[in-house]
Amino acid sequence: MRLDLLFSMRLLWPTAFLLLQTVLAAFPAKRFYDTHNYYVVEHDSSLASLDDVLQALGLELVEQAGELKNHWLVRTFKEPHDSRGESEDSVIETFRQLQSRASTLLSIRSEGANYIRRIVASVKHLSKQELRQRVKRAPPKLLDDYALSRETASRFGIQDPLFEQQWHLVNNKFPEHSMNVTSVWEMGITGKGIISSLVDDGLDYTSEDLAANFVRLITFIEVYMPYFPKGCG
């Protein structure tokens, strides 16, 4: 093989390796939650090797967790459930036992004690992955039937003509989309006597809703200019 071609291939190899990592991250390994439990481990390789950690916890490596550096997806076979339901997770319990042994070992200089301490110290994070199903929520809708809104407005003396259209406060057909503020109002917490302010230079201060309560912001120069020595600025 020509030397110039060999040199070019050596230059291209790091780029190809990075490209391969990107492709693998985009297509993660298939998971089998029926037969395995999965975990994510954040690992510091300067303290103990990943192989030693996996061996101590009874885990096997699946792949890197996406593009997160030093984060690994690992797994173990599921254990059968006992008569009380799902048993306590053995991997998490094993790690807790190692943590306890690392903090209570008397033989500080022994090789076994140092080994356990390195294992525990190298695991920065360990968490079990739970399989969850996404549920699509129905989109909020503005409805013609405002009976609940009208009853709420009448009960609390609300005179806002647009109250019925504020579906986030009281949603007539989909109560799960409401903010659940009516229960707070019933406790007497209505905001009465509370002054709210909004700092914005895009307000229409001539609006009928704002004109009577609009306060012009005093500028920095008007407040602090009298304190500057004469001749400054």
Q: pLDDT tens across 148-169, in order?
A: 888 888 988 888 888 888 888 8
113 and 166 together in one domain: no
Domain termination residue (choose one: 64, 99, 128):
128
Instruction: Give the domain-ending residue among 78, 96, 128.
Output: 128
Kindly indicate the confidence band of residue 219, based on its pLDDT and cuts at 50, 70 and 90: low
Residues 122 and 152 reside in one and the same domain: no
Regarding whether 91 and 56 lie in a shared domain, the answer is yes
Q: Do both 120 and 83 map to the same domain?
A: yes
Claim to verify: residue 114 and residue 155 sit in the same structural domain: no
Q: Is residue 17 domain-resident?
A: no
151 with 208, same domain: the answer is yes
User: Bridge partners of 61?
Assistant: 74
- Reported as a pLDDT band with limits 50, 70 and 90, residue 187 is confident
Amino acid (1-letter code) at residue 1: M
Model pTM score:
0.47
b/e for 162-175, b at 16 or more Cβ within 10 A? ebbeebebbbbeee
Q: Which helix or strand (DSSP H or E) is residue 37 part of? A: strand 36-43
Distances (CA, A) of 150 to 41, 167, 176: 54, 12, 18
Q: Strand, coil or helix: what is 182?
A: helix
DSSP three-state, residue 200: coil
Q: What are phi and psi of 16, to 5 degrees?
A: -65, -40
pLDDT at 193: 82
Tally of domains within the chain: 2
Same-domain status, 121 and 164: no
Q: Could you tell me if 52 and 80 lie in one domain?
A: yes
133 located within any domain = no
Inform me whether the pLDDT recorded for 49 exceeds 80. yes
What domain range includes position 90? Answer: 28-128
The domain boundary residue, chosen from 128, 155, 181: 128
Provide the pLDDT for residue 109: 64
Q: Could you tell me how far CA 103 lies from the centroid of its own chain?
A: 31
Q: Which residues contact 124 (CB under 8 A, 6 or more apart)?
A: 42, 43, 44, 70
- What's the CA angle centered on 231, arms 230 and 233, to 5 degrees? 105
Establish if 117 belongs to a structural domain: yes
pLDDT for 194: 82
**Angle between helices 111-122 and 50-57 in degrees, nearest 10:** 100
Model pLDDT, residue 48: 92
Residues 155 and 119 in one domain: no
Query: Do both 35 and 123 map to the same domain?
Result: yes
Residue 156 lies in a domain: yes
Q: How far apart are CA 133 and CA 51, in angstroms?
A: 32
User: Both 58 and 90 in a single domain?
Assistant: yes
Q: Return the pLDDT at 1.
A: 46
Q: How far apart are CA 194 and CA 141, in angstroms?
A: 31
Beta strands in 52-150 (DSSP E): 60-64, 71-77, 123-128
